[in-house]
Amino acid sequence: VLTKRLITAAILLPFVVFGTLLLDDMLFRIVLALVITIAAWEYCNLISVKQLASRLLYVFALIVMAFILASINSWLIPIIIVSSAWWLLNTYWVSCYPKFTNLWHEVQGIRLLNGFFIFVPVFLSLAALQKNNSELVLLLLMLIWSADSGAYFAGKAFGSKKLCPRVSPGKTIEGMIGGIVASIAIMLVYLELYIEPISTKQYLVYVALSVVISIVSVVGDLFESIHKRLANVKDSGALLPGHGGLFDRIDSLTSTAPVFYLMYYGTLL
């Protein structure tokens, strides 16, 4: 499985990097919309939206709302703030799972609203980041990837204390710490290579940003694990060999992008 993951990642990485840095605003949004369309389609597998017409309508509505809201600058921050609050609620659910699972199964409106807060804010955040500075999108992705890789290898080498066994038995506290360390390392390299000399306070804020993103990425991963557990499936799809579905690959991005945008533009500019 690891070999398949590495091969798939090696094939996709150049497209992601060059697409992020070279596409203009509109083309980036179109590609991003395509990614979210596929991920939202897979999400429908997890929330029992099975009828083709209902699924098409739901996914189409998400994309239309994303483009409309992206064109209204004054709504960006409020939506991202509400999204971040939603992720706080998700964090609480992850911590007390399987509590509230009956409510999740019984009220489809919650599942549909959850999809809005998963997919629309990540579109708005990434579109805004790319428009302002495409390198920030790449930095966010590198923080997520490094946290994921650091957690994987640290967990394999040192993992013993379970992080959230009822949701994801394979995740360990040692793995999460390894992910945080790896994310900090990437941020330090970024500061050394790309950022002009800054104050100690700003430096510490950048480091804090990498720590927060590493932790929030775990929340996104665990929250999707709850979805899959409740749907009784291993992966959201089978599009990417070794990785599962596209939603499996961007689960951490959906939680981190709004938080990254808020922290960066709220504390560093």
Average pLDDT of the residues of the chain: 92
Structure tokens at 235: 């992966």
- 6-15, 138-147, 182-191, range with the lowest pLDDT: 6-15
In this structure, of 60-64, 130-134, 193-197, 246-250, the range with the lowest mean pLDDT score is: 193-197
How far apart, in whole angstroms, are the C-alpha atoms of residue 51 and residue 99? Answer: 28
Contact by Cβ (8 Å): 37, 59: yes
pLDDT in tens, 153-177: 999 999 999 999 999 999 999 999 9
SS3 per-residue string spanning the chain: CHHHHHHHHHHHHHHHHHHHHHCCHHHHHHHHHHHHHHHHHHHHHHCCCCCHHHHHHHHHHHHHHHHHHHCCHHHHHHHHHHHHHHHHHHHHHHHHCCCCHHHHHHCHHHHHHHHHHHHHHHHHHHHHHHHHCHHHHHHHHHHHHHHHHHHHHHHHHHCCCEEECCCEEEEEHHHHHHHHHHHHHHHHHHHHHHCCCCCHHHHHHHHHHHHHHHHHHHHHHHHHHHHHHHHCCCCCCCCECCCECHHHHHHHHHHHHHHHHHHHHHHHC
Tell me the per-residue pLDDT of 185-214, one tens digit each, with 9 for 90 and over.
999 999 999 888 888 999 999 999 999 999
Q: Say if residue 11's pLDDT is above 90.
A: no
Q: Tens digit of pLDDT for each residue in 65-93?
A: 999 999 999 999 999 999 999 999 999 99
pLDDT recorded at residue 1: 54
For tokens 């999460």, what's the residue? 176
Work out the average pLDDT over 41-69: 96
- Give the pLDDT confidence score for residue 170 in this predicted structure: 92
CB 175 within 8 A of CB 244: no
